[in-house]
Amino acid sequence: MSNIDVLCIFLCREAVQQFMDFIDSHCTSEDTVPVLIAHNGRRFDIPFLAMEFAREGFKIPANWHFMDTLMVAQKVIDRDNIQSLKLVSCSLHVHLTTALGKQNQTGPLGS
């Protein structure tokens, strides 16, 4: 194992520990539950985190919760009005829907 390999192992382990510390630092009381939110997180982000944590000898804490905005989009967005549920498409759709709704409520350009 080279010095670079050892350095990479140390840095990866340190990155996982820093990520865990960051999450913990934002949970200021025992009642605070961390919720990590990602688009398509169930298929990508969560397995990736779990794999990296395991590779470095850590487990994702049991009190961490995850929310996948893709699953929300699949239930909330009318697929007749949008072709893709990619994050950019969803955010643009929600932004335009909100803007058009305000325009319809208050007149042109939300005045």
Q: pLDDT tens, 32-63?
A: 899 998 888 899 999 999 998 998 899 999 99
φ, ψ of residue 18 in degrees (nearest 5): -65, -40
Report pLDDT for 13: 87
Report pLDDT for 86: 61
Q: Taking residues 76-95, what's their average pLDDT?
A: 62
d(C-alpha 68, C-alpha 80), whole Å: 22
| Percentage of the chain modeled with pLDDT above 90 | 30
The residue type of 69 is: T
In the predicted model, is pLDDT for residue 17 greater than 80?
yes
Q: For residue 104, how many C-alpha atoms fall within 13 Å in the half-sphere facing its CB?
A: 6
Mean pLDDT of the residues in the chain: 76
- Residue 72: which pLDDT band, with cuts at 50, 70 and 90? confident
Report pLDDT for 109: 41
